[in-house]
């Protein structure tokens, strides 16, 4: 994993305090490079205005537009047809999108049957971790 910048740390703190969906959407933007200062949806005081994404991506290539729409959708700003959006992105973006979706769900739990018939709950990690972690 790369070294976290002050800006990235501040965005993560903002998103973590907001909601799990905000955290996943923000992490997706950070890891794809779309959370850099200067983007119209990234505010100088370290928060992301997901509502501004859709109106500001027209000049970007299609795959990048799709990733940004997916992030905005995870946050709750834009309804999308996920299958259509995912079909048009490259593999590196796909891995990050899968991780973001997995992190919205978070960690899970599952019933485990033991020898002798006893059962217990086992804590499970996120279904699809961030690439490189």
Q: Is the pLDDT of residue 127 over 60?
A: yes
Tell me the pTM.
0.86
Cα gap 93→99, rounded to integer Å: 10
Q: Is the pLDDT of residue 85 over 80?
A: yes
Neighbour tally for 5: CB within 10 Å? 13
Quick one: pLDDT at residue 27? 97
Q: What is the rounded average pLDDT of the residues 109-129?
A: 82
Quick one: pLDDT at residue 2? 59
Quick one: pLDDT at residue 77? 82
Crossing angle of helices 20-32 and 6-18, in 10° steps, is 160
Dump pLDDT digits (tens) for 45-82.
999 999 999 999 999 999 999 999 999 999 998 899 99
Cα gap 107→52, rounded to integer Å: 30
Dump pLDDT digits (tens) for 20-39.
899 999 999 999 999 999 99
- Please report which confidence band the pLDDT of residue 1 belongs to, taking 50, 70 and 90 as the band edges: very low
DSSP 56-96: G-TTS-HHHHHHHHHHHHHHTS----HHHHHHTS-HHHHHH
């Amino acid at each position: 994993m790369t070294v976290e910048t002050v800006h990235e740390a501040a965005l993560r703190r903002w998103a973590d305090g907001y909601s799990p969906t905000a955290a996943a959407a923000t992490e997706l933007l950070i890891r794809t490079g779309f959370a850099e200062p200067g983007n119209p949806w990234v505010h100088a005081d370290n928060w992301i205005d997901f509502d501004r994404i859709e109106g500001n991506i027209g000049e970007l290539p299609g795959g990048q537009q799709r990733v940004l729409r997916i992030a905005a959708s995870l946050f709750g700003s834009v309804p999308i047809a996920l299958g259509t959006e995912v079909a048009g992105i490259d593999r590196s973006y796909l891995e990050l999108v899968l991780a973001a979706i997995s992190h919205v769900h978070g960690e899970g739990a599952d019933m485990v049957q033991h020898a002798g018939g006893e059962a217990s709950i086992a804590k499970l990690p996120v279904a699809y971790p961030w690439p490189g972690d």
